[in-house]
């Protein structure tokens, strides 16, 4: 595969805007970056790709002065630099456009851009000078910004351009864009790429962090792949394919098809038809999603975070309102039913953020057992909480689900993440649900606990439980699902057969490189 190389790839004598040489960064208990080497040629768009958790953000923080490398060095224009704060980076001509915009909604574009570097005489703001400079920047780089527009009224694409203008205003020659297309619709992505080409033609260098492989290939001049904190290699976008990139990102892992019994029954438990959700800007977050889940079936949805899975889960739980569509549980229309009603009807929920959505951290374990189930046995007796019964049941859950804890009276925050998750899984399965919505059920959980949770889900499935599984862990998806769909930008774009699909096939479908039936 000539398109893929390992180790440093800079052509000797090339004009390098920035060079990362042997950089390592450690945090307590984990190595975020290990001996990373990247060479970025001046005047190019250099993409850095990797999965969530691969170490991209830490690397970028070091380039921007928010962290310092433990080993190795960073060279800008050939000279080693040591940044102690973003101010140093800005002074060296490095500008960062964050994934989550840092803008003041109630300020104008102009005020947002000049904040902290205001043109002034004796403290008095020189609006005219600022306006002129912004207009010049806007024309030179094709940003089309109106300095007096209120940021609150701007769409996402425009806001991103304001962030870009912020760094250009401060004289950045090297731009770092962190997941810039994560929040853009395809048309806005095209506009962004046009802007990037403009910037390139003016001699600026751009580092572009992403895991959307199809986009990366279309706009980058060079690609560096990072996996688990190490540089895996570089690629030439002109010749590499999405699949090859996906394989580098994810690692080639052969599928381990499990000979599992077919537990899928005929009865349809969950039926979703035409589900559509729009956000406050009118953009489609979910478009016309329809699917059925049968009893005894695990329905897996694969997709990069932020493509509508979260909103789908919220809609199914009744936490978020929908624009159109119908949801039925065992034939009963629950579209208008409250969250509480849905839980009572038999929907269990393992939320993706256990600390924010699944637990009362300062409350004891047995109180957490009651959370979400304060309308059903064994926790209640009439209008009262049945403490003794709840405590007994909590002890049972602790035993059956192997929750490591000194007792059921400790506060939930004293437990490790894995044990917290086991408690939640135990709680939800104990409610005898007919449908279990499991979002990232083993995120942040150690290997042992993960296997245990999978076992419990499989057992429940064998007794007829339907499961909607949302996960970023491809192993988990492939290993647990009976049906597998890929979601991208709010639509189902591909189906996969869990028995035969490989992780990289799935990965490339998730990033839009392939659609339809995957393997």
Partner 1 sequence: MLPALSDRFYGEPQTSRAKRRQSRRMSPQVLLLVALGAFIIFSAVRALTGANDLTSSGSMAAGLSAAVPIGLAGLGGLWSERAGVVNIGLEGMMVLGTWGCGYLGWNHGPWAGVLFGTLLGAAGGLLHALATVTFGVDHIISGVAINIIAPGLALYLTKVTFAHYPGGGQKQSPPIADARSITLPTSDWLRTVENKHWFAVSDAAGILRGITTGLSLVTVLAVVVLIASGWLLWRTSFGLRLRSCGEAPFAADSLGVNVYKYKYIAVVVSGAMAGFAGSALAISAHQFRDGQTGGRGFIGLAALIFGNWRPGALGVGAGLFGYTDAIQLRSSKAVHALLLLIAVALVLVAIWQWRTRQRAIAIVAVVIAALAVWWYFGSENVPPELVGATPYVVTLLVLALASQRLRMPKWDGRVYRKGESH
Partner 2 sequence: MTTPAPDPIPALPSTPSDLSLVQRLRQRYPVRTIVLALIAPVGAVIFAIAASALILALGGHNLGDVFTTMWKQAGKPTQFVNMVNQAMIYYLSAVAVSIGFRMNLFNIGVEGQYGMAALGAAYVGGQITGGGPFHIVIELIAGMVVGAAWAGIAGILKVTRGVSEVISTIMLNAIAINLGSYLLHRLGTTSGNNIQTKTISSSGRIPGFAYSGTQTKIYGFLIIAVLVGVGYWFLITRTRFGFRIKATGLNEEAAVASGVNVKRLTLIAMLMSGAIAGLVGLPALLGQSYTFSQTAQSGLGFAGIGIALLGRNSPIGMALAALLWSFLGQSANQLDFIGVPREIAAIMQGVILLAVVIAYELVRRYRLVLQQKEVAARLRTPGPTTELAVS
Stretch 341-360 residues interacting with partner 2 (CB under 8 A) = 341-344, 349, 351, 356-360
**Three-class SS string for 88-107?**
HHHHCCEEEECCCCCCCCCC
**Ramachandran class of 288: left when φ > 0, alpha when ψ lies in -120 to 50, beta otherwise:** left
Phi and psi, residue 448, nearest 5°: -60, -45
CB-nearer residue toward partner 2: 132 or 404 = 404
Task: Show the tokens assigned to 501.
Answer: 């699909």
Stretch of 5-13, 112-120, 421-429, 480-488 lying at the interface with partner 1 (CB under 8 A): 112-120
* Rounded Cα–Cα distance for residues 69 and 88 (Å): 15
* Shortest distance (Å) from residue 308 CB to partner 1: 19
Decide which of partner 2, partner 1, none touches 86; Cβ closer than 5 to 8 Å per partner kind.
partner 1
CA 434 to chain centre: 29
Q: Which residues contact 27 (CB under 8 A, 6 or more apart)?
A: none
Distance CA 9, CA 347 (A): 53
Choice between 180 and 346, CB closer to partner 1: 180
For residues 150 and 279, give the distance between their C-alpha atoms in angstroms, rounded to a whole number: 20
Please, what is the minimum distance in Å from the beta carbon of residue 209 to partner 2? Answer: 10
* Number of amino acids touching partner 1 (CB under 8 A): 29
Q: How far is the CB of 129 from partner 1 (least distance, A)?
A: 12
Least distance to partner 2, CB of residue 407, Å: 4
The single residue among 41, 67, 111, 309 that binds partner 1, judged by CB under 8 A, is 111
Region near partner 1 per CB under 8 A, out of 119-127, 222-230, 237-245, 301-309: 119-127
Q: Among the candidate windows 117-125, 242-250, 444-452, 494-502, which touches partner 2 by CB under 8 A?
A: 444-452
- Based on the shown chain and the rule CB under 8 A, indicate whether residue 78 belongs to the binding site for partner 2: no
How would you class 355 by CB atoms within 10 Å of its CB: exposed for 0-12, middle for 13-18, buried for 19 or more? middle
Tell me if 278 contacts partner 2 by CB under 8 A: no
Distance set, CA 460 to CA 34, 84, 144, 328, 455 (Å): 41, 53, 56, 21, 9
Name the minimum Å distance from CB 292 to partner 1. Answer: 32
Q: Which of 43, 57, 15, 28 lies closest to 226, judged by CA?
A: 57
Rg (CA), the chain: 25
Output 52 or 120, the one with its CB closest to partner 1. 120
Strands 222-227 and 230-235: antiparallel
The beta strand positions in 28-107, using DSSP E, are 30-41, 45-49, 71-76, 79-81, 94-97
446 binds partner 2 (CB under 8 A): yes
In the window 401-440, what residues touch partner 2 (CB under 8 A)? 402, 404-411, 413, 415-416, 419
Rounded least distance, CB 453 to partner 2, Å: 11
Among 44, 57, 112, 394, binds partner 1 (CB under 8 A): 112
CB closer to partner 1, 106 vs 218 = 106
Q: What is the closest distance, in whole angstroms, from the C-beta atom of residue 250 to partner 2 in the complex?
A: 15
Q: What is the DSSP letter of 358?
A: I
- Shortest approach of partner 1 to residue 182 CB, angstroms? 18
- Convert residues 483-502 into a mask of x (bound to partner 1 by CB under 8 A) and - (unbound): --------------------
399 binds partner 2 (CB under 8 A): yes
Sort residue 248 into left (φ over 0), alpha (ψ -120 to 50) or beta. alpha
Q: Give me the phi and psi of 293, to 5 degrees please.
A: -125, 130
Q: Is 280 in the site for partner 1 (CB under 8 A)?
A: yes
Return the residues of window 355-384 that contact partner 1 according to CB under 8 A.
362
Q: Where are the alpha helices (DSSP H) in 335-485?
A: 339-345, 365-370, 387-400, 417-430, 447-462, 474-480
- Confirm if 352 and 443 have CB atoms less than 8 A apart: yes
Site map (CB under 8 A) of partner 1, residues 313-352, x = contact: ----------------------------------------
Which member of 319, 389, 499, 519 binds partner 2 (CB under 8 A)?
A: 319
- Dihedral of CA atoms 15, 16, 22, 23 in degrees, nearest 10, equals 170
Single out the residue of 105, 333, 375, 455 in contact with partner 1 (rule: CB under 8 A). Answer: 105
Interaction site with partner 1 (CB under 8 A): 86-87, 98, 102-108, 111-112, 114-118, 120, 123-125, 150, 152-153, 166, 280-282, 362
């Amino acid at each position: 595969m000539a398109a893929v190389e390992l180790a440093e790839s800079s052509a000797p004598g090339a004009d390098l805007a920035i060079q990362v040489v042997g950089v390592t960064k450690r945090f307590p208990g984990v190595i975020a970056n290990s001996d990373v080497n990247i060479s970025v040629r001046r005047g190019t768009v250099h993409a850095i790709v990797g999965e969530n958790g691969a170490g991209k953000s830490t690397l970028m923080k070091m380039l921007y002065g928010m962290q310092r490398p433990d080993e190795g060095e960073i060279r800008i224009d050939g000279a080693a630099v040591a940044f102690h704060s973003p101010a140093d980076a800005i002074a060296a001509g490095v500008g960062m456009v964050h994934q989550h915009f840092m803008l003041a909604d109630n300020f104008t574009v102009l005020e947002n851009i000049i904040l902290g570097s205001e043109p002034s005489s004796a403290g008095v703001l020189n609006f005219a000078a600022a306006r002129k400079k912004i207009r010049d920047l806007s024309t030179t780089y094709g940003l089309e910004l109106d300095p007096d527009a209120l940021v609150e009224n701007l769409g996402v694409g425009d806001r991103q351009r304001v962030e870009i203008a912020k760094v250009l205003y401060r004289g950045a020659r090297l731009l770092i864009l962190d997941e810039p297309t994560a929040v853009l619709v395809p048309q806005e992505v095209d506009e962004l790429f046009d802007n990037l080409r403009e910037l390139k033609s003016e001699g600026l260098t751009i580092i572009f962090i992403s895991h959307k492989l199809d986009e990366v290939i279309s706009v980058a001049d060079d690609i560096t792949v990072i996996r688990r904190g190490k540089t895996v290699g570089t690629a030439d976008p002109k010749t590499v394919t999405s699949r090859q990139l996906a394989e580098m990102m994810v690692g080639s892992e052969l599928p381990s098809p499990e000979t599992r019994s077919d537990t899928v029954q005929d009865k349809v438990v969950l039926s979703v038809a035409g589900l559509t959700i729009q956000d406050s800007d009118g953009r489609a977050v979910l478009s016309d999603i329809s699917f059925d889940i049968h009893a005894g079936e695990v329905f897996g949805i694969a997709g990069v975070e932020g493509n509508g899975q979260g909103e789908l889960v919220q809609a199914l739980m009744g936490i978020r309102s929908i624009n159109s569509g119908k949801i039925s549980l065992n034939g009963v229309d629950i579209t208008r039913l409250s969250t509480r009603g849905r839980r009572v009807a038999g929907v269990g929920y393992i939320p993706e953020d256990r600390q924010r959505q699944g637990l009362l951290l300062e409350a004891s374990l047995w109180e957490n057992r009651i959370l979400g189930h304060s309308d059903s046995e064994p926790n209640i007796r009439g209008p009262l909480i049945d403490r003794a019964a709840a405590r007994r049941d909590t002890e049972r859950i602790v035993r059956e689900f192997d929750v490591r804890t000194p007792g059921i009276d400790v506060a939930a925050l004293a437990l490790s993440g894995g044990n917290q998750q086991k408690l939640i899984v135990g709680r939800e399965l104990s409610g005898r649900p007919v449908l279990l919505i499991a979002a990232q059920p083993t995120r942040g959980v150690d290997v042992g606990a993960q296997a245990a949770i999978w076992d419990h889900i499989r057992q429940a499935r064998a007794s007829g439980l339907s499961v909607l599984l949302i996960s970023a862990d491809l192993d988990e998806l492939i290993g647990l699902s009976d049906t597998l769909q890929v979601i991208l930008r709010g639509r189902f774009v591909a189906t996969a057969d869990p028995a035969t699909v490989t992780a990289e096939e799935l990965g490339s479908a998730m990033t839009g490189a392939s659609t339809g039936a995957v393997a």
